[in-house]
């Protein structure tokens, strides 16, 4: 199973990164593949043997070498791609299905001190852009796209695009238009920038209203 998942992870890296020239290079140099491989070792000790201390030692050592922190209790299928990966955090009860692409700085985290299932479930073929935070026991539907820097606190339906802080759905596309390529990433990034520009304009408007109100009070 470990080798099967490794092959799936390498295949996902080659499919999603045009810079990936061959399987050997991906296996040798990609930190995301390394982190997932060692996560699977840690998960085996954590889930199968209940050697949780050893599992955490492995996961923290992997974090030191790759910059990617994956709790050994998380459930991650084969065929996931973590691109670059520095600063990625995946919590204990998170579930990540095949075909998911995760970029640097992404957090799949909790929202407090809840017990039980407290981290996200990310369904197949989701793309989570750089710096996005997906928090709480929520489900990100199949084929959804999360824009750069978004903070997602609510359920996301399949094939939706979410941008902004807090995250909001800006469109839901039909499945046949799914675009996992870099062109799709650029489109989602553009929507994220547009949402941030709208937020900046709204903040400026509120500030202007506040200044005018102060002047009237004087």
DSSP string, 92-142: TT-EE-TT-EE-TT-EEE-SSS--SS-S-EE-TT-EE-TT-EEESS-EE-T
Pick the CATH number of 91-218 from 2.160.10.10, 3.30.470.20, 2.30.140.10, 3.40.50.11540: 2.160.10.10
pLDDT score at 208: 66
Residues spanned by CATH 2.160.10.10 within the chain? 91-218
Q: Is the pLDDT of residue 31 over 60?
A: yes
pLDDT tens per residue, range 76-107: 999 999 998 899 999 999 999 999 999 999 99
Q: Is the pLDDT of residue 48 over 60?
A: yes
Q: Is the pLDDT of residue 185 over 90?
A: no
pLDDT tens per residue, range 111-121: 887 888 999 99
Q: How far is CA 155 from the centre of its chain?
A: 14
pLDDT tens per residue, range 196-211: 566 556 556 666 666 7
Please check whether residue 96 is in contact with residue 78, taking contact to mean a CB–CB distance below 8 angstroms: no
pLDDT score at 171: 87
List, in order, residues 6 or more apart from 206 with CB less than 8 Å away: none
Residue 115 vs residues 52, 140, 155: alpha-carbon distances, Å: 17, 20, 19
CA 78/CA 51 separation, integer angstroms: 23
Q: Is the pLDDT of residue 51 over 60?
A: yes
């Amino acid at each position: 199973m470990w080798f099967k998942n490794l092959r799936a992870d390498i295949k996902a890296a080659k499919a999603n990164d045009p810079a990936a020239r061959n399987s050997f290079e991906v296996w040798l140099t990609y930190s995301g593949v390394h982190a997932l491989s060692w996560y699977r070792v840690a998960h085996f000790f954590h889930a199968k043997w209940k050697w949780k201390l050893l599992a955490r030692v492995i996961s923290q050592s992997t974090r030191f070498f790759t910059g990617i922190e994956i709790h050994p209790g998380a459930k991650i299928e084969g065929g996931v791609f973590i691109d670059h990966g520095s600063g990625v955090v995946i919590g204990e009860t998170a579930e990540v299905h095949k075909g998911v692409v995760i970029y640097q700085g992404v957090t799949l985290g909790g929202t407090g001190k809840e017990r039980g299932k407290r981290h996200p479930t990310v369904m197949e073929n989701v793309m989570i852009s750089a710096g996005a935070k997906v928090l709480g026991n929520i489900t990100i539907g199949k084929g959804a796209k999360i824009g750069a820097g978004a903070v997602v606190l609510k359920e996301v339906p399949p094939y939706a695009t979410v941008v902004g802080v807090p995250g909001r759905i800006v469109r839901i596309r039909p499945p046949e238009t799914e675009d996992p390529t870099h062109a799709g990433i650029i489109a989602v990034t553009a929507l994220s920038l547009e949402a941030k520009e709208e937020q900046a304009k709204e903040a400026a408007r509120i500030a202007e209203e506040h200044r005018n109100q102060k002047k009237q009070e004087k």
